[in-house]
Amino acid sequence: MRRRGIVWAIVVLVGMGVAGCGVLRDAPPTVTPIYITATPVPVIVPVVATETPSPSPVLAATSAALLPTRAPERTATLPLPQIITPTPTFTPTTTDTPVTPGPVYYPPVGGVAEGGGAIVVGGMGGLTTGCATLPGGAIGAIYQSDPSIAAAIGCPLASAPTSVASAYQPFQNGVMIWVAAPGQSLIYALYGNGTYQRFNDTFRDGVDPSSGGAVPPPGLVEPVRGFGKVWRENPAARDTLGWALTGESGGTAEFLAFERGEMVRVPQAGQTYILITGAPGTWSARAG
């Protein structure tokens, strides 16, 4: 320690000597120290959210005495079924009985002619009309024998019937007739209820199929060619006529046009058909 004090004394003396050498100089400017204080960087402490666990619910035991008592189930009592006595809602009505074609007489066609030549019915001496001519032959005999036919069909458009090729086929409920009438071929579908339809014969060999391939019930026949085409393409005619009873039969018929219809004598059927134009047309037949 003594040695360290001697060293400090020497340093003080040397310093004073140096300071004395500068007595004559200007005093140095006073330097004001600038202290720079570092701004401390804030320490960011992350905040971590922690979930506070909720207390687990504790179910308290409930005394069985406090629980609701279930009411006893009721058994439903079903009412006895009521016996319902059915009441008829309609009274059945009779339907037309199909007419089987054949050499039978049909009721004469009634009605009075409207317009055209006046028809005057004579007494026992015969029929006197306002027509220019009266037909002859079998058709003329039927025409003149019943005044109601003349009144319904009118006057003939020719003086005599024309012989034409024909075909005839009976059906379950009617007949079909084909005639090569002057200037056109016609097919008549005559229904058992006394009405008929007339169709143009459009069948062509090699173009139209001869048969539709329908399979009829035992003992019945599918119509073919011109009859078959009309039968297949016209459901109303097919459903009304039904199936054919036999195949068609050809022959030569007599055809005569009148003011309000036609008369066709078909020898293979043994009938003369009186066809009255109308909506619908009506027909009747006479043997011969």
Helix locations, the chain, DSSP H? 2-21, 137-145, 147-153, 225-233, 235-241
**Count of the separate structural domains present in the chain:** 1
Q: Three-state DSSP class for 123?
A: coil
Q: Which residues lie below 8 Å from residue 131, measured CB to CB, with a gap of 6+?
A: 117, 119, 155, 156
Would residue 197 count as lying in a domain?
yes
**What predicted TM-score, i.e. pTM, was given to this entire model?**
0.58
The encoded tokens of residue 71 equal 């009411």
Rg (CA), the chain: 63
Is-contact 263 140, C-beta < 8 A? Answer: no
Would residue 135 count as lying in a domain?
yes
pLDDT, one tens digit for every residue, the chain (288 residues): 555 655 555 554 544 544 444 444 555 566 666 655 555 555 555 555 555 555 555 445 545 555 555 655 555 555 555 555 444 433 333 333 333 333 333 333 333 233 333 333 333 344 556 788 888 899 999 999 999 999 999 999 998 999 999 999 999 999 999 999 888 899 999 999 999 999 999 999 999 999 999 999 999 999 999 999 999 999 999 999 999 999 999 999 999 999 999 999 999 999 999 999 999 999 999 998
3-state DSSP helix/strand/coil % of the chain, to nearest 5? 20, 20, 60
Would residue 275 count as lying in a domain?
yes
Task: Compute the Cα dihedral for 98, 219, 240, 247 and give only its sign.
Answer: negative
Is-contact 131 155, C-beta < 8 A? Answer: yes
Would residue 56 count as lying in a domain?
no
Would residue 87 count as lying in a domain?
no
Q: Which residues lie below 8 Å from residue 102, measured CB to CB, with a gap of 6+?
A: 170
Tokens 């003992």 belong to which residue? Answer: 219
Q: Which residues span the domain enclosing 154?
A: 119-287
Pairing type for strands 195-200 and 249-258 reads: unpaired
